[in-house]
Amino acid sequence: MRTIVTTSHKPDPRSVAIAGWAAEVLNTEFVDRSRMSLDDLKIKCNTDNIMVVANGDIKLYSSRGEYFFHPSMSVPRIKAIRQGKSDHMVAAMALQPGDSVLDCTLGLGSDAIVASFIAGPEGQVTGIEAVPEIALIVKHGMANFRTESQPLKSAMVRIQVECALYEQYLAGLPDQAFDIVYFDPMFRHPRMKSSSMEPLRGIVKDDPLSPDAVREAIRVAGKRVVMKENSFSKEFARLGFNSIVGGRYSPVAFGVIEKRGQDYE
């Protein structure tokens, strides 16, 4: 279903400019809101998906709810890391300051923000997202999110967001272009209703990861390929992730394919 773009009833000039930019990026209509309610706009434009720009922020309204950018779980995770606690994703990546990470499934960006925090200014995190609406909101959100936390802000603004299919993006990269290639595909058996993903359920791309994509990721990774899934998922074995990192009682785990010292020719 197509997404249209509009503003609040009395938008400031910056919001109008952002809405125009969003409509151009999404190659869709910018609809003058006038005094119309969102329900009236949905009927008039025959769509459930409306992107609204208000006070410089972007919100997506779908039939399943509303989504706007928030760093969500990255905030307590970064706080815990700064207190010296471990993070399973960071451990699975064996992530070090200065590393480069290709996050093939950027989604709402939480994992990428944590990776960027650890990789630091000497490192580089690039996030790939197939769905243009999500890529746009997350890109705008990371660049403009208002926070007092400088480490969080710096981690977000350093992330390079690309709207693309990871299959195509990987194919265009040279061997060992990134230290770590990361996948967090939509779980084959969703664990529970995730409140932050719920408004996006009808929009996200939820195809399974393919063995071909994993092969390409191994070629592009200098150090490791990592995949997140349910702890007992058969996806790990199907795709060749033989080493698993995760807490004993954690519902999610991280499969690791270590590149160094192994022959993947």
Ligand X SMILES: C[S@@+](CC[C@H](N)C(=O)[O-])C[C@H]1O[C@@H](n2cnc3c(N)ncnc32)[C@H](O)[C@@H]1O
Closest approach of ligand X to the CB of residue 50, in Å: 19
Which of these, 212, 208, 261, lies nearest to 234 by C-alpha position? Answer: 208
| Residue 18 vs 128, nearer CB to ligand X | 128
Regarding 109 and contact with ligand X (CB under 6 A), the answer is: yes
User: What residue has token string 């400019």?
Assistant: 17
| Contact range with ligand X by CB under 6 A, out of 107-115, 141-149, 172-180, 240-248 | 107-115
| Residue 147 vs 168, nearer CB to ligand X | 168
| Residue 12 vs 167, nearer CB to ligand X | 167
- Say whether 231 sits in a helix, a strand or coil: coil
Considering only 16, 25, 36, 165, the residue that binds ligand X (CB under 6 A) is 165
- Residues 69-98 within binding reach of ligand X (CB under 6 A): none
Task: Please spell the DSSP secondary structure of 76-112, one letter per residue.
Answer: HHHHHHHTT---HHHHHHT--TT-EEEES--TTSHHH
How many helices (H) and strands (E) the chain has is answered by 10, 11
Closest approach of ligand X to the CB of residue 204, in Å: 4
- Residues 202-221 within binding reach of ligand X (CB under 6 A): 204-205, 207
Regarding 130 and contact with ligand X (CB under 6 A), the answer is: yes
- Could you tell me what percentage of the chain is helix, strand and coil, using 3-state DSSP and rounding each to the nearest 5? 35, 25, 40
- Torsion angle, CA of 70/72/76/79, rounded to 10 degrees? -30
| Residue 9 vs 208, nearer CB to ligand X | 208
Q: Which residues pair with 100 in a beta bridge?
A: 124
Which of these, 206, 112, 119, lies nearest to 161 by C-alpha position? Answer: 112
Regarding 134 and contact with ligand X (CB under 6 A), the answer is: yes
| Contact range with ligand X by CB under 6 A, out of 9-17, 48-56, 117-125, 128-136 | 128-136
**Per-residue contact string for residues 28-67; x = within reach of ligand X by CB under 6 A:** ----------------------------------------
Token pair of 107 as six digits: 């989604």
Regarding 198 and contact with ligand X (CB under 6 A), the answer is: no
Footprint of ligand X (CB under 6 A)? 105, 107-111, 128-131, 134, 165-167, 184-186, 204-205, 207
